[in-house]
Amino acid sequence: MLDPVPAARPAPGLAVRCTRALLSPWSRFSLLVAVLLAAAATTLLLDPQRLLAHGWPAQLNGGGAAVLLFGLAYGVSTVAFVPRPLLNLAAGALFGSQTGLAAALAGTVLGAGISFGLGRVLGQDALRTLVRGRWLKAADGQLSRHGFRSMLALRLFPGVPFAAANYCAAVSRMGYPPFLVATGLGSIPNTAAYVVAGSEASSPTSPAFLAAMGFIVLTGVGAAVVAWRKRHRLAAD
């Protein structure tokens, strides 16, 4: 006796199809792009550079609320691709070396954490399908296997843009805690140099300012040399 032909499964309803489409990797990636563009546009309208020219609002000067607010604004600004050197200079100019460094580091870790979370939740599934090039595969493998030390090196040598490192780590299999700890520790030297330069900007011939600028130049040259050597090593493989 022949087995009965199984009944065809009913086609999923419109609500199910819409839900699948909205939760698909490329839909989430499109949402990530939209969020980042909106953040960048908002930041351009607010013009955070005016802090360097006009200073902090008078009603917030000198208080803990100002430091907290600056740290929050710093973190959001890095998500919107505002250059960290500019924000670090502002931190030093507004709060001095010690307090400015604390605010800048807190903002750095906050911004990195937000970017990592956005990239992991909204972009990882879609972006991993694009990891086909030799450089991208090498970066993905390095961050997945040796996440902490790799991210620490990226932060210590400022050759890779801050946002690019955040989203590369998010696409990899690196964990959240090692990413944040490596970011906080690795960002200290370079951040401190810019903060000191900002706090001493009114005295450009002072030893502190000259030392900070010398450190910035040396690390920049070192990062360029390392990047050049890595590039030629990958090309030779």
The pLDDT tens digits for 36-61 are 677 677 666 666 656 544 555 655 56
Token duo for residue 48: 């955070």
Contact in structure between 171 and 127 (CB atoms under 8 Å): yes
Please give the distance of CA 34 from its chain centroid, rounded to a whole number.
17
Calculate ∠ Cα 76-169-99, nearest 5°: 40
- The pTM of this model reads 0.75
| Inside any domain, residue 194 | yes
Task: DSSP letter for 202, please.
Answer: T
Please give the distance of CA 207 from its chain centroid, rounded to a whole number.
31
| Inside any domain, residue 13 | no
Residue ranges of the chain with per-residue pLDDT less than 50: 1, 14, 16, 52-53, 234
> Which structural domain, as residue segments, surrounds residue 42?
25-50+60-236
Looking at the structure of the chain, the number of domains it has is 1
| Inside any domain, residue 182 | yes
The confidence score (pLDDT) of residue 109 equals 96
d(CA 177, CA 61): 33
Beta-carbon contacts of 148 under 8 Å, excluding residues fewer than 6 positions away, are: 178, 181, 182
| Inside any domain, residue 150 | yes
The confidence score (pLDDT) of residue 164 equals 83
The confidence score (pLDDT) of residue 197 equals 94
d(CA 45, CA 39): 10
| Inside any domain, residue 149 | yes
| Inside any domain, residue 5 | no
The confidence score (pLDDT) of residue 180 equals 95
| Inside any domain, residue 196 | yes
Please give the distance of CA 53 from its chain centroid, rounded to a whole number.
25
Contact in structure between 89 and 156 (CB atoms under 8 Å): no
| Inside any domain, residue 55 | no
The confidence score (pLDDT) of residue 119 equals 83
d(CA 110, CA 96): 21
